[in-house]
């Protein structure tokens, strides 16, 4: 696919101040220690950062991290909705929840990876007088990092005032935050109204690889769709039915299809509102001549637990009290055969509850089949990417997307606001 957006190579960044939106939304240890459990997203941003610094730009990097709630009242409301006792919801606890999402760990890791200091600046407003002074004083080849963009109430509202404040720090806006391009926020889209806006290398790579596979795939194109819910993958199934030669369904969503076809699914994940939709998809596939593969057997468990008892049963004959947690051996064979003959494979959503070793067999087998083909293999979806990594096949794939939600929306054929706002070539 021809990438039609300007990149950092199409503008002169030497001696310029560059506002660089990255996706530093990294997973942090649950114990609140601030330990980054996977720095893949920081490393994915390095080529663009290094290029800008080498070219003599002064880089003002920014990103969101997690989902901080910048309004105390809204925080109380959300926590109460989650079942917390309002009497325990103090200002101190809210401040702690914000502190836990400060950018310190990111600044530290980024500095280690770059081998140079990364100055962290900013407060709850993200841009303040201190930040403006530090940005103004930043020299070519130096980098600073702003505080979590979602600390500012204007970020998720795409508030023009906040966007202007961000833009005021720099001469050029570069976006490389692929994981956030499906959001029209102040730092991912709004700011582009006030500065020349171009993309970094990560966005370019993601769009070239995934976009290429969608626009002009090496055929046959096999799409493997799994994960928890049909409802979160409707758009992808629908769009890929227009493009793919074969669609393979696995994971929790398969039981909604099994039920729709008159099967018994026991206590398996089921979205009863989507039965008609499931049947429509099967029909649409038949009308279009797209092969639509559903599981023929399943590994049923007597509990949702890592050490549950398990038995292999036909896909539409899961006994009461049992739930399907993985695809069965016959299904694994059929899916691996389909993958073996593919020119391109797009995979979004694990085949089972891969977090439990006992039920990771189907996901592992499919990952291995992908690693053994000569096909172009593209992994979209946060959990699928985690599964491939955890099972040890990451370096065997053509491309593992850094953006779960963004790659999903791209595969749905939706416009990405964080890309649409960039300058055309």
- Contacts with ligand ADP by CB under 6 A lie at 227-228, 232, 251-252, 269, 324-325, 348-350, 352-353, 355, 381-384, 404
C-beta atoms surrounding 56 within 10 Å: 14
CB 307, min distance to ligand ADP, A: 16
67 has catalytic annotation: no
Identify which of residues 122 and 251 has a Cβ nearer to ligand ADP in the complex: 251
Of 29-37, 256-264, 372-380, 381-389, the segment contacting Mg ion by CB under 5 A is 381-389
Q: Which of 34, 168, 405, 413 is catalytic?
A: 405
173 SS3 class: strand
If the CB atoms of residues 166 and 386 are measured against ligand ADP, the closer one turns out to be 386
According to CB under 5 A, which one of 316, 382, 403, 417 is a site residue for Mg ion?
382
108 tagged catalytic? no
Using CB under 5 A as the binding rule, whether residue 409 contacts Mg ion is answered as no
**In 3D, which of 364, 409, 400 has the Cα closest to residue 382?**
400
By a kind-dependent CB cut-off of 5 to 8 A, residue 105 interacts, out of ligand ADP, Mg ion, none, with none
Smallest CA-to-CA distance from 181 within 201, 159, 196, 203 is with: 203
Minimum CB separation of residue 192 from ligand ADP in Å reads 28
Assess contact for 60 and 17: CB atoms under 8 A: yes
What residue number has its CB nearest to ligand ADP?
A: 227
| Residue 41 is among the residues annotated as catalytic for this protein | yes
Go through 379-417 and write b for each residue having 16 or more CB atoms within 10 A of its CB, e for each that does not: bbbbbbbbbbbbbebbeebebbbbbbbbbbbbbbeeebb
The answer to whether residue 404 is catalytic is no
Q: Residue 24 burial by CB count (10 A; 0-12/13-18/19+): exposed, middle or buried?
A: buried
Rg (CA), the chain: 23
- Please choose, from the candidates 89, 31, 97, the residue with its C-alpha nearest in 3D space to the C-alpha of residue 66: 97
Q: Are 162 and 190 in contact (CB under 8 A)?
A: yes
> Which residue's CB is nearer to Mg ion, number 198 or number 406?
406
Contact status: 295 vs Mg ion (CB under 5 A) = no
| Beta carbon of residue 416, minimum distance to ligand ADP (angstroms, whole number) | 17
CB 47 within 8 A of CB 60: no
Q: Shortest Cβ distance from residue 84 to Mg ion (Å)? A: 25
Is 383 one of the binding residues for Mg ion (CB under 5 A)?
Answer: yes
Q: Bridge-partner residues for 301, per DSSP?
A: 310, 323
CB atoms inside a 10 Å sphere around CB 145? 24
**Closest to ligand ADP by CB, 342 or 353:** 353
Map residue 225 onto helix, strand or coil: strand
CB of 5 to ligand ADP, least distance (A): 25
According to DSSP, the β-strands at 297-301 and 323-327 are antiparallel
Task: Give me the least distance between CB of 386 and Mg ion, in Å please.
Answer: 8
CB nearer to ligand ADP: pick between 187 and 298? 298
Q: Judged by CB, which is closer to ligand ADP: 103, or 236? A: 236
Q: Is the dihedral of CA 133, 59, 207, 43 positive or negative?
A: negative
Interface positions with Mg ion (CB under 5 A)? 382-383
Residues with a catalytic annotation lie at 41, 229, 382, 405
């Amino acid at each position: 696919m021809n990438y039609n957006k300007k990149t950092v190579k199409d503008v002169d960044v030497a001696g310029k101040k560059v506002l660089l939106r990255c996706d530093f939304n990294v997973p942090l240890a649950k114990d609140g220690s601030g330990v980054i459990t996977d720095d893949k997203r920081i490393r994915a941003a390095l080529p663009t950062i290094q290029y800008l610094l080498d070219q003599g730009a002064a880089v003002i990097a920014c990103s969101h991290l997690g989902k901080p709630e910048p309004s105390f009242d809204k925080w109380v409301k959300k926590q109460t909705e989650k079942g917390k006792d309002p009497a325990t919801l103090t200002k101190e606890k809210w401040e702690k929840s914000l502190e836990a999402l400060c950018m310190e760990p990111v600044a530290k890791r980024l500095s280690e990876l770059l081998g140079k200091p990364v100055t962290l600046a900013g407060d709850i407003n993200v841009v303040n007088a201190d930040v403006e002074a530090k940005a103004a004083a930043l020299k070519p080849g130096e980098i600073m990092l702003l505080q979590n963009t979602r600390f500012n109430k204007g970020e998720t509202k795409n508030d023009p005032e906040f966007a202007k404040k961000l833009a005021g720090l720099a001469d050029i806006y570069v976006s490389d935050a692929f994981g956030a391009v499906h959001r029209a926020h102040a730092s991912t889209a709004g700011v582009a109204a006030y500065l020349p806006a171009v993309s970094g290398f990560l966005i370019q790579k993601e769009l070239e690889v995934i976009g290429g596979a969608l626009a002009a795939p090496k055929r046959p194109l096999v799409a493997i769709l799994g994960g928890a819910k049909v409802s979160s993958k409707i758009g992808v199934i629908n769009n890929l039915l227009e493009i793919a030669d074969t669609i393979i369904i696995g994971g929790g969503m398969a039981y909604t299809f099994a039920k729709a076809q008159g099967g018994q699914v026991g206590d398996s994940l089921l979205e009863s509102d989507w039965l008609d939709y499931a049947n429509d998809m099967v029909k649409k596939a038949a009308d279009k001549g797209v092969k639509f593969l559903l599981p023929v057997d399943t590994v049923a468990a007597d509990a949702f637990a890592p050490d549950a008892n398990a038995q292999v049963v036909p896909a539409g004959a899961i006994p009461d009290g049992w739930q399907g947690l993985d695809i069965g051996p016959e299904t694994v064979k059929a899916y691996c055969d389909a993958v073996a003959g593919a020119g391109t494979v797009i995979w979004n959503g694990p085949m089972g509850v891969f977090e439990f070793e006992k039920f990771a067999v189907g996901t592992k087998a499919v990952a291995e089949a992908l690693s053994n083909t000569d096909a172009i293999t593209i992994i979209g979806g946060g959990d699928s990417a985690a599964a491939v990594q955890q099972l040890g096949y990451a370096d065997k794939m053509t491309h593992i997307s850094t953006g779960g939600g963004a790659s999903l929306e791209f595969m749905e054929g939706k416009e990405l606001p964080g890309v649409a706002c960039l300058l055309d070539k």
